[in-house]
Chains A and B, each alone.
Chain A
Amino acid sequence: MTNGRSANGSVPLPDALEAAAPTPAGAAAFAAPPSSAGDPPSVVTTSAVSSEAEALSLPPKDVSVGPHVALWVENLTVSFDGFKAIDDVTLILDKGELRCIIGPNGAGKTTLMDVITGKTRPEKGAVYLDSRVNDLTTLSECEIASLGIGRKFQRPTVFPNHTVYENCELALKGPRGVFRSLFMRTTKAERARIAEVLETIGLQDLRAQPAGLLAHGHKQWLEIGMLLAMDPKVLLIDEPVAGMTQPEMERTAELMRTLAGQRTVVVVEHDMEFVRSIARKVTVLHEGRVLAEGPMNEIQKNPRVIEVYLGT
Chain B
Amino acid sequence: MSTPPSTPSPSSSPSPAPSAPPASGAPAAAPVHAPPAPRSVLGEGGASGPTLVNKPLPISKAGAGLRSRIYGRAGWAIVLGAALVLAVLVPVLNTMPKAFPLAIPDYAIPLLGKFLCYGMAAIAMDLVWGYTGILSLGHALFFALGGYGMGMYLMRSIQGQGVYRSNLPDFMVFLDWKELPWYWRGFDHFPFALAMALLVPGLLALVFGWFAFRSRIKGVYLSIVTQALTYAAMLLFFQNATGFGGNNGLTDFKRLLGYSLQAPSTKLFLYILTALALTGTFVLCRYVVNSKLGRVLTAVRDAESKVRFCGYESTHYKLFVWTLSAMLCALAGALYVPQVGIINPSEMQPSNSIELAIWVAVGGRGTLIGPLVGALLLNGAKSWLTAAFPSAWLYVLGSIFVLVTLFLPRGVVGLVGLVRARLRSRATAAASASHGGPS
Residues of A within 8 A of B (CB): 117, 119, 140-142, 145-146, 150-151, 153, 157-163, 165-166, 169-171, 176-178, 181-186, 205-206, 208-210, 212-213, 226, 230
Contacts and interface: CB of A to CB of B under 8 A. Distances in A.
A75 B317 CA distance: 35
B286 interface: no
Contact of A178 (B56, B303, B316): B316
Contacts of A186: 68, 292
Contact of B65 (A141, A170, A208): A208
Contacts of A171: 310
B308 interface: yes
Q: Which are the 4 A-B pairs with shortest beta-carbon distances?
A: A145-B311, A141-B308, A146-B311, A212-B59
A150 B438 CA distance: 30
6 contacts: A142-B309, A151-B309, A161-B298, A162-B299, A163-B64, A176-B313
Contacts of B295: 162, 166, 169-170
B296 interface: yes
B308 A159 contact: no
B426 interface: no
B95 interface: no
B305 interface: yes
Given A169-B292, A171-B310, A182-B292, 6 more contacts: A119-B305, A141-B309, A161-B60, A178-B316, A178-B317, A230-B310
Given A161-B302, A170-B299, A117 B309 contact: yes
B311 A176 contact: yes
Interface string B291-328: 11101101100110111111111101100100000000
B44 to A, nearest CB: 25
Contacts of A162: 295, 298-299, 302
B61 A182 contact: no
B419 interface: no
A117 B311 CA distance: 11
B292 A181 contact: yes
Nearest to B288: A182
B66 interface: yes
A197 B57 CA distance: 28
Given A170-B296, A170-B310, A141 B438 contact: no
A226 B59 CA distance: 20
Interface of B: 56-57, 59-61, 63-66, 68, 288, 291-293, 295-296, 298-299, 302-303, 305-314, 316-317, 320, 437-438
Contacts, number: 101
Nearest to A207: B66
A159 B306 contact: yes
Given A142-B313, A178-B320, A206 B66 contact: no
Contacts of A177: 316
B59 A160 contact: yes
A165 to B, nearest CB: 6
Nearest to B62: A210
A142 B298 CA distance: 17
A255 to B, nearest CB: 19
Contact of A181 (B64, B293, B438): B293
Contact of A160 (B63, B291, B302): B302
B438 A206 contact: yes
Nearest to A206: B438
A183 B312 contact: no
